[in-house]
Amino acid sequence: MGFFDRLAAKKNNPDKPATPPAASEAPAPSPSSPAESPSPTLSPAANATRILAQLKEAREKLDTQDVDGAVAIYEELLRTAGDRADVLVTLSGDLGVSGQVEKIVDLLAPYYDAERHGPAAGLNLLQAYIATRQIEPAQHLLHILFGLGRSELEERLHGFSNALAELIEARSRGLLPAPGAAMPLGTPVTAPKTSSVNLVSISKPIWAYGLESVPGILPAKGERVRRLAFAQTAVLRMPDLDAKTIQPEDELGRFTRGFPLMLADCFYSSPNYAPIAALGTMNKEHYVIFGGEWSVENLRQLVETSSTPLDYVFTSALQIEGERSELTVKVWEVKKMKERKAFTIRYTTETAQGEFAKLFDSIRMFMEWSGYPAGSAIEYTPPKDIASWCDTLGTSLSLFLGDKGVLPKTYVEDPATALSRLAERAPMSERASLAYLTAIDRAQRMGGAIPEIGEQSLFNSAVVEEARSFLSL
């Protein structure tokens, strides 16, 4: 779902998250190229399973920069399941978060039909048209989306209309090249760009990316799982929110992303749950800090753009007043879109660890969490220092997104500084050591130096040693 404008804080209302535009969409499919029917040999359930498996395989190919391989899968999916709106939404979202905006236009434009597929994929295609400066197709699609008469879309569609008007003005002044044309040498780039909040979906423990092939790292799930989403933590009543958002990440920013990653990591360590963490970036330029709690509409958008059905969504909001802080976690049941439970802790620096431990235990008890049987997976124990573990996960995320090109390397924290912080925590647990090893692997690809790993640098376990050998560290 990562290419969508969803939940940026409005400048004039720091207590309420915005719901700006999503990604892109296009004209109706040609009658000569309809989506083929699913194979008659497959039951509906089996066909749905096949589609989810293909979407997952394509996303994994994008993660490894195999764009051609992903596109081949998407082309097959569109031929066999192009009538399904969720396929178009997932396809466009995954391409968007991978930076393959042009591919969204190439693949969706021949298939998208507003009446059949609804607005979500259309918004993705529209944003892709604007990003690639295809003004006329964007105008046509915008007219179609306005014609749906959906009042909840009007604010976003007007935003796209304004962006288009600015592009048209830039073109009339000779400041915008034709789509695909090179800018003349020395021409100042003054054409406006749309602001786009992209939700990045992390579906595995962030420290496990790159280690999927190592036995025992990612255990098998049970036959029936509950699917959870953990949304990025909002920061309420935060002064200078806009300025804070565009600055390089800091400890507070890492916490807003590390806390949902920590909860997702915990529930991934149970055979009964399949979690994701939903985290925000802006225009692939920097992170987003959400200045207001997630609304029901925001939650619906998250659910609608998720590549898999969700059963529960967890939201959280932090408020800091001097030396005292308050953190509230809410559990939402997706089926009824109803708040089921709220947990609140109040803490200072001195009491934080104890209060977080109580919160952690309460959430697991409420959700009836249970781990894997001994010996079948990495043993899960709650982190002894939750704040440090959140920081480690937030750091791992930044190196992961920087390595994938989702965030510019110039925005990501200096790898040497990040690795030194993770190195201090690496010996504390298997997870901390695995996070350190994958962070080194990513930093190396980003041009960072490989630190020396001494005998006492890692947690002593067979899984850690095997991961180290797999990564050739």
Structure-token pair, residue 80: 């066999």
Q: Is residue 166 domain-shared with residue 202, that is, in the same domain?
A: no
Residue 175: predicted pLDDT = 60
Residue 64: predicted pLDDT = 83
10 within domain boundaries: no
Q: Which amino acid is at 472?
A: S
Give the range among 103-112, 281-290, 341-350, 461-470 with minimum mean pLDDT. 281-290
Q: Any idea what the CATH number is for the domain that residue 247 is in?
A: 3.40.50.10070
- Give the model confidence (pLDDT) of 428-454 as tens digits: 999 999 999 999 999 998 887 778 887
Tell me: pLDDT of 185 over 50. no
Start-end of H helices in 64-194: 67-81, 85-97, 101-108, 114-117, 119-131, 135-146, 154-172
Residue 453: predicted pLDDT = 84
Tell me: pLDDT of 184 over 90. no
Of residues 298 and 329, more confidence is placed in 329
95 within domain boundaries: yes
2 within domain boundaries: no
Closest by Cα among 147, 86, 138 to 115: 147
Enclosing domain of residue 337: 197-470
247 within domain boundaries: yes
Of residues 205 and 169, more confidence is placed in 205
Q: Is residue 149 domain-shared with residue 232, that is, in the same domain?
A: no
- Give the model confidence (pLDDT) of 187-208 as tens digits: 333 334 445 677 889 999 999 9
Q: Any idea what the CATH number is for the domain that residue 92 is in?
A: 1.25.40
155 within domain boundaries: yes
Residue 14: predicted pLDDT = 36
User: Where among 103, 137, 172 does a domain terminate?
Assistant: 172
pLDDT over 90 percentage in the chain: 36
Residue 44: predicted pLDDT = 74
Q: Is residue 31 domain-shared with residue 110, that is, in the same domain?
A: yes
456 within domain boundaries: yes
Of residues 330 and 60, more confidence is placed in 330
Closest by Cα among 135, 131, 121 to 29: 121
> Between the ranges 153-162, 196-205, 356-365, where is the mean pLDDT highest?
356-365
**430 backbone dihedrals φ, ψ, rounded to 5°:** -60, -45
Residue 39: predicted pLDDT = 47
Q: Is residue 40 domain-shared with residue 94, that is, in the same domain?
A: yes
Q: Is residue 164 domain-shared with residue 203, that is, in the same domain?
A: no
Q: Is residue 303 domain-shared with residue 429, that is, in the same domain?
A: yes
119 within domain boundaries: yes
Q: Is residue 158 domain-shared with residue 273, that is, in the same domain?
A: no
Residue 176: predicted pLDDT = 59
185 within domain boundaries: no
CB-facing half-sphere around the CA of 168: CA atoms within 13 A: 11
Q: Is residue 228 domain-shared with residue 120, that is, in the same domain?
A: no
Tell me: pLDDT of 134 over 60. yes
List of residues 6+ apart from 333 with CB closer than 8 A: 311, 312, 339, 340
- pLDDT confidence band for 360 (50 / 70 / 90): very high
Q: Is residue 134 domain-shared with residue 202, that is, in the same domain?
A: no
Which of 366-397 are b and which e, b meaning 16 or more Cβ less than 10 Å from the residue's Cβ? ebebebbeeeebbebeebebbbbbbbbbbbbb
Q: Is 295 exposed, middle or buried (0-12, 13-18, 19+ CB in 10 A)?
A: middle
pTM higher than 0.85, yes or no? Answer: no
Residue 257 is inside which H or E element, if any?
Answer: helix 251-268
Tell me: pLDDT of 302 over 80. yes
Closest by Cα among 346, 349, 280 to 315: 280
- pLDDT confidence band for 279 (50 / 70 / 90): very high
Average pLDDT, stretch 99-123?
Answer: 88
Tell me: pLDDT of 5 over 70. no
> Between the ranges 139-143, 371-375, 390-394, 410-414, where is the mean pLDDT highest?
390-394
Residue 1: predicted pLDDT = 35
Q: Is residue 224 domain-shared with residue 332, that is, in the same domain?
A: yes
Q: Is residue 86 domain-shared with residue 128, that is, in the same domain?
A: yes
Of residues 362 and 413, more confidence is placed in 362
Average pLDDT, stretch 291-306?
Answer: 85
Calpha distance 61→71 (Å, rounded): 9
Length of the chain: 473
Q: Is residue 341 domain-shared with residue 285, that is, in the same domain?
A: yes
DSSP states along 368-426:
T---PPTTSSPPP---SSHHHHHHHHHHHHHHHHHHHTSS-TTTSPPHHHHHHHHHHHG
- Give the model confidence (pLDDT) of 19-60 as tens digits: 333 333 333 333 334 444 444 556 777 788 888 889 989 888
364 Rama class: left (phi>0) / alpha (psi -120 to 50) / beta? alpha
Average pLDDT, stretch 253-274?
Answer: 95
Q: What is the mean pLDDT of the chain?
A: 81
User: How many domains are contained in the chain?
Assistant: 2
- pLDDT confidence band for 373 (50 / 70 / 90): confident
Give the range among 35-39, 221-225, 316-320, 410-414 with minimum mean pLDDT. 35-39
Give the range among 103-112, 127-136, 420-429 with minimum mean pLDDT. 127-136
